[in-house]
Amino acid sequence: MGGVSIMEVEGATIGDVLGSLTVKYPAIKGQLLNDDGTLHRFLNVYINDDDVRYLGGVEAPVANEDEITLLPAVAGGAA
Question: By C-beta, is 20 or 40 nearer to another protein?
Answer: 40
> Closest separation between CB of residue 27 and another protein, Å?
12
Which string of x and - marks every residue 16-55 that binds another protein (by CB under 8 A)?
Answer: ---------------x--------xxxxx-x--xxx-xx-
Checking 55-61 for CB contacts under 8 A at 24+ apart, the result is 56/14, 57/14, 58/13, 58/14, 58/15, 58/18, 58/33, 59/13, 59/14, 59/15, 60/13, 60/14, 61/12, 61/13
Q: Which is nearer to another protein, 24 or 30 (CB)?
A: 30
Identity of the residue, 63 or 73, whose beta carbon is nearer to another protein in the bound complex: 73
Classify residue 63 by burial, with Cβ atoms within 10 Å: 0-12, 13-18, 19+.
exposed
Q: Applying CB under 8 A, which residues contact another protein?
A: 31, 40-44, 46, 49-51, 53-54, 69, 71-79
